[in-house]
Structure 1
Amino acid sequence: MRLDGDQPVPLRRDWTGWLFVLLAVAAVTGVLYANGERDGARYIARPHPVAPPADVVPDAPPMELAPVTEADARAQNAKIALITKGFVAARPFVYTGGGDAKARARDCLAAAMLYEAGDDARGQQAVGQVVINRARHPAFPKSICGVVFQGSERATGCQFTFTCDGALSRRYSDAAWQRARNNADLMLAGGTYPAVGLATHYHTDWVRPYWSDSLEKIAIVDTHLFFRWPGYWGTPGAFRGAVSGSDGPVAKLAAISPLHAIALGLPTDVAPADANAAVGEARVVIGAGAAAGRDTIYTQLDRKAAPESFVTTALRLCGDKPYCKFMGWTNPTLKPDSDAMTDTQRAAMSFSYLRDDKAGFEKALWNCSEYKRDDTRQCMKR
């Protein structure tokens, strides 16, 4: 109420100004919200990702993360629908190459499995399946090492973050590295991990890659989410690429894989840390049989080396030979120079490796009285 002359009259309020203020505040809030959405919140998955054209190979986006908190990422990831329609397990894959090429591919795959999933067999197999799926898909390189280290020359934007974020400077134990290599061998020999189907992408549930909106979530393994392209490029028909069987060396693996170091002309006894401690490489004395180019190698092994490293030594010395028999002793006085060995010498053998490509056979065995193995199938029979 206000006075107008002597008579009190009702106060009439002009809401025009207030309405303008409210509209301005709403506009500013909308802009700020949109900016916030652009910085991460907008990456809530679309209910139906758009399938790329079937006649154009889609680009493989790099692993770049939206700036959201772990809690927000988990909440947003949980809202992504799990697509089960059309889920198909991958066909078994057998690496076509042999010798050093196969061993280098094995070490590339093992590195991805170990550094992406840690020392966990199930997680490693899931990662290994994604790598193999990518190698078969036309959107990715056509070799195992090419897939794993795609984009690793960049400081950011690599496909697997461990290849460009400095993670390879860390060292896992010799035993963990060998377990990863064994798992990689299984994957390259026809082993599959059906739970992730034809997934070509994955991430942990506490991050939010920018590409999440454009793909279909098809599997969950512990804290990892697995994705495929919608439409044709996520169907079995798209996984038609022939995978190379001649993987070359990768410089970033030289410090932990002697096979990559040798192919690059780098010494295997020089690394950021002592090579024997870093990769468990055994020091050897090669017998006359190998020096003469024969298929049987008699070797003195370093008793202090990790027993898993004997496999690396055998693969390095056997090279590309289709047939190779490798036998090693840690006791130099009992190491023979030919197959004409005594029963005592044979019983003292510490490790053996036999490869016969013609028969499709490859086996590594340890003397379990000298080196205990968790899997008794790896023990020499006495």
Structure 2
Amino acid sequence: MTAPARSAAAPVHDIAIAGAGAAGLALAVALKTELGAGVRVAAFDPTLGAARDDGRATMIAADGRRLLERAGAWPADAHPVAGLRITDSRLDDALRPTFLELGRDLPADEPFAHMVFDTDLRAALAARAEALGVTFVSRAIRSHAASTGVVTLRLDGGDETRARLLVAADGARSGVRAREKIAVSAFPYDQTALVATLAHEAPHGDVAVQHFLPGGPFAMLPLAGNRSSLVWSERRATAADMAALDDDAFLAEAAKRAGPDFGRLALAGPRGAFPLRFLLARSFVGRRVALIGDAAHVVHPLAGQGLNLGLRDVAALTRVLSAAARAGEDLGAPATLGAYESARRFEVAGFATAMDGLYRLFATNLARPLRDVGMGLVDRAPALKRRIVAAASGL
């Protein structure tokens, strides 16, 4: 495949990526896979090599799996999710009737999604990136300035380097986005996500379960064996109390919310707590800058789509940059970045707004009869269910 054309004053890198989390590494391996050894990709992150096992696992949709498989970075121990069961109940309800089931009618060889531990995903991506020749720089980008044909990056310690394009994959508090003066719509939710890996007596049948409770959505996401990844969203004050409990008391509270289907619960990994927020960048591009992942958008985890949106950013930007490289065009030109903006921002804005609306719908008990009727109608409409599954899985 043809690498980008280079002038005598060529930049050091074709694409510089700020941040070596899952989205940034996925972009690095996708670009090297599509464009070959000739494209020069570098990832800049001062936390490279740091151990970050916070117990979190991620649900990867089918289109994200395909992207990672194509790039040779799919974790070997990813666990298939056959479907999603949704209930809407009060904390003290003896029964949790199912109002909606998604994904059960998919072919056996095309699961609804897969569960992957974050540490395993980062390790697979990092190993593949190294094998493909991605350059790793364990320093932060402190400033950048675009000019004709190049963006100059100043690193920690004062050194400078250059690239044709800078990609911000440096998270919700993106320094690249802030320096580029890209405005955001952002606000905190009055919720914190409590996460842990739980072992349980009863099998999960590879089905994810999400209980919509008055305090927030409570999800049990299937892992290998009789284990599940807990993502428990609760009002901040209550979540702080839950996080302060010892393990036995924490498990007792989790069991109240999980219901009887899982049997006795036990911790099988570390516990964590993360405040939830909404963020949407007003633009996904700047001057020789593109935003992906949490640098561009942060949504409520009730649909498990945070990283999946980031992987769709990766797929779109890879397509755009690959087309530009093969045509010998400037990777950081306004037309190139405009194509990425058109491919992603409208879709992400619509999805983020829908997820915020869904969160608010389930945040009030006054709307419970209406939403339960709505979920029941969706469950009885096969064509609509297929469209919802297609949107969630990316198929």
TM-score exceeds 0.5: no
Give the TM interval when normalised to the shorter protein.
Answer: under 0.3
**Higher RCO by CA contacts (8 Å cutoff, separation 6 or greater):** 2
More strand by share: 2
